[in-house]
Amino acid sequence: MFSRMRQMIIKEFIQVFRDKRTRFILIVPPIIQMMVFGYAANYEIHHVPTVVVDFDHSQQSRELISRFKSSPYFEVENQANSSQELSAMIEDGKAIVGLEIHAGFAQALLGGQVAPLQVIVDATNSNSAFLAASYVSQIALGYAQEVQRARIYRIAPQIVEVMPSVQLESRPWYNPRLLSRWFFVPGIIGSLTLVLVITLTAFGVVREREIGTLEQIMVTPITPAEFILSKTLPFFLIGLFDVGLIALVGSLWFHVPFRGNVLVLVTGAVLFILCMLGVGLLTSTACTTQQQALVTSFFFIMPAVTFSGFGFPISTMPHWLQLATYANPLRYFLVVLRGTYLKGVGMDILWPQMGAMAGLGLGLLTISVLRFRKSLD
């Protein structure tokens, strides 16, 4: 048995590494995709194109505008002369944020009254619009508090010393600088591993059927169980290699800290790859060509990434979709990745995710092996 399996495994590795395209796919695309996603997948906004129309032309309005110019979040590129011009620039896509300072702004501000500041935001991208509006509020409220404090100091300096105030001191845990990249890079490791293992497993089996070598192999003394193990073990090892490669690039290039135990991460990766091998084998039972395998695999890959919590919190999804995510192995692997990378937690915290992946892996492999054996017969 082991002699026959060894020969099949050697054959599989020879077939993988003698193909220039396959060698290229195993190494170069994962690194390129890690680099691209690491830079592109980002919730932070900087240098948002901003246009200002100032009808007050006062020292206070110019001071407020200078706060926006000095902020790294806004890029005040233009100053409009009318409300219509401001609206036209936003409609044409030349600006995302528009600030309109009405006449009498300084008078109302210095008189202790409400000084309105109209903010117009292009909300085509709701996430960027929400963040931009939040940054506008922080800058405007900070300036208003300084002006109010200066006014009280002029009227009654003694009150300033005893005036109560609340000082907010934030302490973000695990990601002190609130970098989106630290959140996305561990997720990219799981997403790329999912795509690679499923496609390689499905293609590896379907290729044998497509070129006609599957029937030749099955007339040899090798059994269906030995054939399945021999076909999946190389892709299991390749999947582990790619996990290590992608994780190494993410940690060294993007400086994402790894605070956990390597053995915990490897255990999670092993269980997740077993789940993906099951999906790949299941895909191969429904396909006869590699083109069919490619299309069919995306029926699982796209929903799996979308419903995993990779880019969107699962808690914001409808309740029935949240229930569906429990059948997604990537959901649990992302918790393991982010927990080991950023929090440094161990098996005492991550055992529910490990158990869920083990159960899903066992179920997927059992179903896929039974279907595959039936297709072989």
Structural Rg of the chain based on CA atoms: 29
Average pLDDT, the chain: 82
Average pLDDT over residues 236-249: 87
| Spatial contact of 151 and 113, defined as CB atoms under 8 Å apart | no
Q: pLDDT-based confidence at 218, cuts 50/70/90?
A: low
Average pLDDT over residues 263-279: 92
Angle formed at CA 32 by CA 290 and CA 243, multiple of 5 degrees: 75
Dihedral, CA of residue 281, residue 287, residue 293 and residue 297, to nearest 10? -60
SS3 348: helix
Ranges in the chain annotated CATH 3.40.1710.10: 48-162
Model confidence pLDDT, tens digit, residues 157-170? 666 566 676 777 77
Determine whether 368 is exposed, middle or buried from the number of CB atoms within 10 Å of its CB (0-12, 13-18, 19+): buried
Q: What is the CATH number of domain 48-162?
A: 3.40.1710.10
Higher pLDDT, 126 or 192: 192
Cα(176)–Cα(167) distance, integer angstroms:
19
Cα(273)–Cα(30) distance, integer angstroms:
16
Q: Which residues have CB under 8 Å from 330's CB, separation 6+?
A: 190, 191, 194, 272, 304, 305, 308, 310
Write the DSSP symbol of residue 312: S
Cα(129)–Cα(90) distance, integer angstroms:
13
| pTM of this prediction exceeds 0.85 | no
Per-residue pLDDT for 24 more than 60?
A: yes
Average pLDDT over residues 346-353: 92
Model confidence pLDDT, tens digit, residues 296-344? 888 888 888 888 888 778 888 888 888 989 999 999 999 999 999 989 8
Per-residue pLDDT for 54 more than 70?
A: yes
pLDDT of residue 39: 78
Q: Which residues have CB under 8 Å from 278's CB, separation 6+?
A: 361, 363, 364, 365, 367, 368
The secondary structure element, H or E, covering residue 238 is helix 224-254
